[in-house]
Amino acid sequence: MTGAATLFAGDQPGGDWERIIAVQHAGSGLRAIVVLHSLARGPAFGGVRRVAYASEQAGLADAKRLAASMSLKCALAGLPAGGGKTVIFDAPTLDRQAAYTALGEVIQELGGVYVCGPDIGTGKPELAALRRATSWVNPVGNDAGRSTAVGVLAGLRGLLGVVFDDPSPSGRRCVIEGLGGVGLALATSLLEAGASVAGWDPDPGARARAAALGVELLEKGTLAMEPCDVFMPCALGHTLTRERCERAPWRAVCGSANNQLADRDAAAALRAREIAWAPDFVVNAGAVIEGVETTIGSGGGAAHERVVRGIEAIEGRCAQLLTRARAERRCVSELALEVARAALRAPVDLPPEPPEG
């Protein structure tokens, strides 16, 4: 293995990011970037995303955005952790198992300052390959997709309570963009709760599974123009553009995708049209809450209880931010960032150490 080498001279330790490490492994064809955004509150947590990026700079920019979002997510949730992210440049010649094992060696060499987990392109087989080389990976018993979905549902209840004075999704129409693991779990829970659910996914298999549950399948081109109570972005980020938000027939937005807003203009368009938005780094924190609580501090039943409490708290946190934004006539995205950045600088309450013996 060639090991890690810093290729981006302008992005070495310092500035707004703790560390940026470019990784290459000739034997497997691995090209990856590990970004550690903040270690102020504890080790950096973040998944491994495998995508066929158009360029190294595109991959680096994505990793930076996602790592920064993870820091905000951890701070708002009160976790003793910061944000990190790894991106792998996917290619037809990539030896996937060898590449993930090589990446695991690099993560192990970092000595616990970064704990990795699943993301787009990284599922159970890839996590198993990582675990062959590092112990700093999301525990086997964790289910990131399930935890994320439970957290989004908690955030949705908080949003519905503010917008409709009723936290129940029963009778609400929800449109889901992305019917993969998280999107499908959300669809299942929403249908069970009495909601009307429609959606779309580029994968025919995902569409078939959703249709079998009772999800109304839409076309990609008409998805964003489907009237609904809640639009739920559950795929890639930056899908909420200004143009889309200016025309959208939605009452609210709440989904699992990271970095949903394309820019500030999109946030302003949502506010101008009185479309409530549940900040993504508030509602999609379920997986990192589970990851941190089962990795740091005491384990067993105590960890499970902390996970449950942490995810349940998303409902109140989301409702509080939306209520305050309305009262102060502010854009909720700006308020959430302000609160998260303040939390990032605040002292950390560490979990108790496990008892001896």
Confidence tier at 108 by pLDDT (50, 70, 90): very high
Supply the pLDDT for residue 253.
99
**DSSP H or E stretch at residue 46:** strand 44-51
- pLDDT tens for 111-135 read 999 999 999 999 999 999 999 999 9
Supply the pLDDT for residue 298.
61
**DSSP H or E stretch at residue 89:** strand 82-89
Supply the pLDDT for residue 296.
86
Q: Is 301's pLDDT higher than 70?
A: yes
Three-state secondary structure call for residue 83? strand
The CA distances from residue 187 to 82, 157, 178, 216, in Å, are: 30, 15, 10, 10
Question: What is the average pLDDT value for the chain, to the nearest integer?
Answer: 92
Q: Provide mean pLDDT across the span 87-92.
A: 98
Supply the pLDDT for residue 67.
96
As given in the structure block, the two tokens for residue 223 are 């998805």
Which residues have CB under 8 Å from 327's CB, separation 6+?
none
Residue type, 70: M
Helices (H) and strands (E) in the chain, counts: 13, 12
Confidence tier at 300 by pLDDT (50, 70, 90): low
Supply the pLDDT for residue 14.
45
Confidence tier at 1 by pLDDT (50, 70, 90): very low
| Beta-sheet pairing, 19-25 with 4-5 | antiparallel
Residues of the chain within CATH 3.40.50.720 domain(s) are: 144-345
Supply the pLDDT for residue 352.
43
Is 85 considered catalytic here? yes
How many whole angstroms separate alpha carbon 158 and alpha carbon 161?
5
Percent of the chain whose pLDDT exceeds 90: 88
- pLDDT tens for 36-89 read 999 999 999 999 999 999 999 999 999 999 999 999 999 999 999 999 999 999
- pLDDT tens for 162-189 read 999 999 999 999 999 999 999 999 999 9
Architecture category of domain 4-131 in CATH: 3-Layer(aba) Sandwich (3.40)
Q: Provide mean pLDDT across the span 219-241.
A: 95
As given in the structure block, the two tokens for residue 231 are 């639009």
Confidence tier at 35 by pLDDT (50, 70, 90): very high
Confidence tier at 17 by pLDDT (50, 70, 90): confident
Supply the pLDDT for residue 13.
47
Binding site members for NAD(+): 178-183
User: Hey, CA dihedral for 87, 122, 336, 72, is it positive or negative?
Assistant: negative
Q: Which of 73, 85, 124, 220 is catalytic?
A: 85
For 144-345, the fitting CATH number among 3.30.1330.60, 3.40.120.10, 3.40.50.720, 3.40.50.300 is: 3.40.50.720
Q: Is 336's pLDDT higher than 90?
A: yes
How many whole angstroms separate alpha carbon 273 and alpha carbon 175?
18
Residues of the chain within CATH 3.40.50.10860 domain(s) are: 4-131
Q: Is 222's pLDDT higher than 50?
A: yes
Binding site members: 178-183
**Angle ∠(208,210,213) on CA atoms, nearest 5:** 110
The full DSSP string for 227-254 is -EEEEEE-SSS--B-HHHHHH--EEEE-
- pLDDT tens for 251-277 read 999 999 999 999 999 999 999 999 999
What's the pTM value of the predicted model, to 2 decimals? 0.90
Percent of the chain whose pLDDT exceeds 70: 92
As given in the structure block, the two tokens for residue 163 are 């917008």
Q: Provide mean pLDDT across the span 18-31.
A: 96
